[in-house]
Amino acid sequence: MPHNLFSLIQLQFLNQSDRILLSVPGGRSLTGSELDAETACMAAVLIDAGVEPGDRVSAQVEKGWMNVLLYLAVLRIGGVYLPLNSAYTESEVEYFLTDAEPRVHVCPQVRREHAESLVQSANEQLKVMTLDGDLGFLRDVFDDFKLSGRAVEEVVSREAADLASIIYTSGTTGKPKGAMISHGNLIANAEMLTEAWAYSKADTLLHALPLFHVHGLFVGLNLALVNGGPIILLPKFDPTLVLEVMPDTTVMMGVPTYYTRLLSDDRFNRVTSSQMRLYISGSAPLLVETSDSFFERTGHRILERYGMTETGMSCSNPLVGERRAGSVGPHLPGVSVRVMGDDGYSVAGGEIGSLEVKGPHVFSGYWKLPEKTASEFKGEWFITGDLAILSEDGYISIVGRDKDLIISGGLNIYPKEIEDVLNDQPDVLESAVVGVSHPDFGEGIVAILVGKKALDMVVLEAACREKLAGFKVPRRWLQHDALPRNTMGKVQKNLLRDNYKDSFTAK
Ligand code: MCA
Ligand code: AMP
């Protein structure tokens, strides 16, 4: 059996050569044979730029068909795909390009100069190529190659353990870590999800998620591609566009914010959703009230699942059987889960403990961080950092986090990263960043600061914006004389969260 994920995808391209498998409304539609041929052409472009098997190719690009081709071509030539959130600032990107040392970095024209400046200082092997939507230097070279028939048809052979991707995830220490994800991990997860959700080529995926996270890239895109089901690729989640294409699709995946935004739109009803087979939610907790309102409005019970960058998907409510609101369902086929107490033994059913998972979908470790990797595994069990309850009938509920993490609109934000920026500001003595309930994003960010004098929050916000992506910038700012601490000297964030719990919800 071939272990390169692209080989499985290519089978579908070749078996359905005349069928449109990828379409961008108002943009291009590509058949199976076009996807195969154009991926081969993009492969030639990358090889010409010096990419060899095992080399990283990073991309901070707008979502679109070129982005999909780039991802597939990297897999095809045995490269390692490193997607970056388009909202990351130059200083955030600098860290990734220095740490991962990609051979090629694809970025918008406005970022070219900055990326090229890193060739001298941080990454000598780096070659920068630009792409703005469907335009830019990469597109020009691609068009030239296509015109002159230059293509690399070969699919580079890979072992299951060979890396397909590195995805950076932040952590409680503040510095992002690159999760190393293999072809075997991705194939295993796609197979589990195919079985659990009965995904097939009869499905059409409504794809509104970004392509730089596991949710949109490996859950959404991979599942559809591996099964040969058509994808309608939207540039982003825009309710008007989503409602326009929904009647032509059967499956939608989203973070809870997508579903609350759809519910707040009167155009969304039983008619718009009548031919849908499945709505799937994940990346953040789906409120029971959202699940219930969605059911009332459409007659569909959203299927909630649970996963992580490091593991892909681990649990899912069943396709057939009870989809329990407030639970992420049982473990997926081939996945083992356990809920552990502080004493190192699994807790009794119904009690809260730390969730650990094991299976062929679990990543192999963090890039260049063997010690960090070792500390997050117990043998083959990966410690998720999520707190969970396992019911007698095997359903997992995520009830909290053992890690200091905020999830806003499905995006993970580690307070330490923001606190580091704030603590570096000349007038700040210390800071605490917490997440509290937010009606749109699930959680919103509040910063509590202690200063040497009265602090100018406008200056602090500007400092955050310079260093951090916009979604990480706190939306409420408060100054305290001191931070509440326990007897061990640890900041009592629970008290701060409680104090400011109505910051975004108060009428
Ligand atoms: C954008 N903004 C946000 C967020 N997104 N603020 C807080 N939280 C967010 N998630 C801010 C921007 O900084 C900007 O503010 C303003 O909102 C408008 O930006 P825009 O991009 O236009 O916002 P939007 O289009 O309304 O986006 C919101 C969104 C989007 C649709 C919820 O964030 C989204 O698609 N999220 C999904 C993320 C995802 O794929 N997560 C999966 C990762 P300003 O101008 O002031 O800066 S987790 C994962 O992959 C695991 C494995 C799993 O389980 O799935
Ligand atoms: P990431 O590290 O970005 O992959 O995000 C993974 C984290 O998102 C998990 O560790 C959970 O804390 C959270 N998460 C993902 N899906 C769910 C869900 N359905 N319910 C609650 N939390 C979730």
Over the stretch 36-71, which tens digit does the pLDDT of each residue have?
Answer: 999 999 999 999 999 999 999 999 999 999 999 999
Contacts of 425 (CB under 8 A, 6+ apart): 459, 460, 463
Residue 21: what pLDDT?
98
> Does 355 sit in the ligand 2 pocket, CB within 6 Å?
no
Pick the CATH number of 405-499 from 3.30.300.30, 3.20.20.70, 3.40.50.2300, 3.40.640.10: 3.30.300.30
Report how far residue 417's alpha carbon sits from residue 280's, in angstroms, rounded to the nearest whole number: 30
386 ligand 2 Cβ < 6 A: yes
Query: Given the CA of residue 408, which atom of ligand 1 is nearest to it?
Result: 8
For residue range 299-341, what is the model confidence (pLDDT) as tens digits?
A: 999 999 999 999 999 999 999 999 999 999 999 999 999 999 9
Q: Which residue blocks in 5-136 are alpha helix, DSSP H?
A: 5-15, 32-48, 65-76, 90-100, 112-121
- Strands in 205-207's sheet, in edge-to-edge order, are 29-31, 20-23, 231-233, 205-207, 251-254, 278-281, 303-308, 312-316
Do 237-401 and 405-499 show the same overall fold?
A: no
Question: How far is 413 from 401, CA to CA, in rounded Å?
Answer: 13
Question: Quick check: CB of 214 below 6 Å from ligand 1?
Answer: yes
| Residue pLDDT, tens place only, 313-322 | 999 999 999 9
Query: Hunting for tokens 């901070």 — which residue is that?
Result: 60
Which residue's CA is the closest to the ligand 1 atom numbered 28?
A: 409
Best of 85, 471, 475 for a ligand 1 pocket test (most atoms within 8 Å of beta carbon): 471
User: Burial level of 33, CB count in 10 A (0-12/13-18/19+)?
Assistant: middle
What's the 310 CA to ligand 2 centre distance in angstroms? 11
* CB of residue 189 inside a 6 A radius of ligand 1: no
User: Which stretches of the chain drop beneath a pLDDT of 70?
Assistant: 172-174, 507
Find out whether the beta carbon of 181 lies less than 6 Å from any atom of ligand 2: no
At 284 the pLDDT is 95
Whole-model pTM over 0.85: yes
- Give the distance (Å) from ligand 1 centre to CA of residue 409: 5
Say what the pLDDT of residue 504 is.
96
The pLDDT value recorded for residue 175 is 81
Class of domain 5-197: alpha beta
How far, in Å, from the CA of 87 to the mean position of ligand 1?
Answer: 9
Indicate which atom in ligand 2 lies nearest the CA of residue 385: 10
Listed by start position, the domains of the chain span 5-197, 237-401, 405-499
Rounded-to-integer distance, Cα 179 and Cα 176, Å: 9
Q: What is the per-residue burial (b if ≥16 Cβ within 10 Å, else e) of 357-381?
A: bbbbbbbbbbbebeeebeebeeeeb
282 lines ligand 2 (CB under 6 A): yes
Which homologous superfamily does the CATH classification assign to the domain defined by 237-401? ANL, N-terminal domain (3.40.50.12780)
Residues 68/94, Cβ–Cβ less than 8 Å: no
Euclidean distance between the first and final Cα of the chain, in Å?
59
Ligand 2 atom having least distance to the Cα of 309? 4
